[in-house]
Amino acid sequence: MDNQIKKYLFDIQESILSIESFLGEKRNFFEYQKNKMLRRAVEREFEIIGEAMNNILKFDNDFPISSKHLIIGMRNRVIHGYDKIDDGIIWGAIVRHLPILKQEINDFLQ
């Protein structure tokens, strides 16, 4: 695996761990929704994840991450549509997609 791709995978892994740390063990959507600083921190980590994935695809457009285009789409929505961010969509990505992405990234880095 190319060292640059590996660097971006580490960046994604770090952002996933940061999101998990920010949310803590008791993941509560209503607490997330009430805490602007927490929402902004999570959104920033999604920006980093999406940008890193975009950079990976510049090296290898067929890199086998299951939701690579959804990840980049999320990044674009957070950056360019900041005024239309839906907390429910972000939360859904955290609950449904982040664990799968985490497993895929961990598998690649082992």
Question: Which residues have a catalytic role annotated?
Answer: 75, 80
Task: Report the 3 state secondary structure along the chain.
Answer: CCHHHHHHHHHHHHHHHHHHHHHCCCCCHHHHHHCHHHHHHHHHHHHHHHHHHHHHHHHCCCCCCCCHHHHHHHHHHHHHCHHHCCHHHHHHHHHHHHHHHHHHHHHHHC
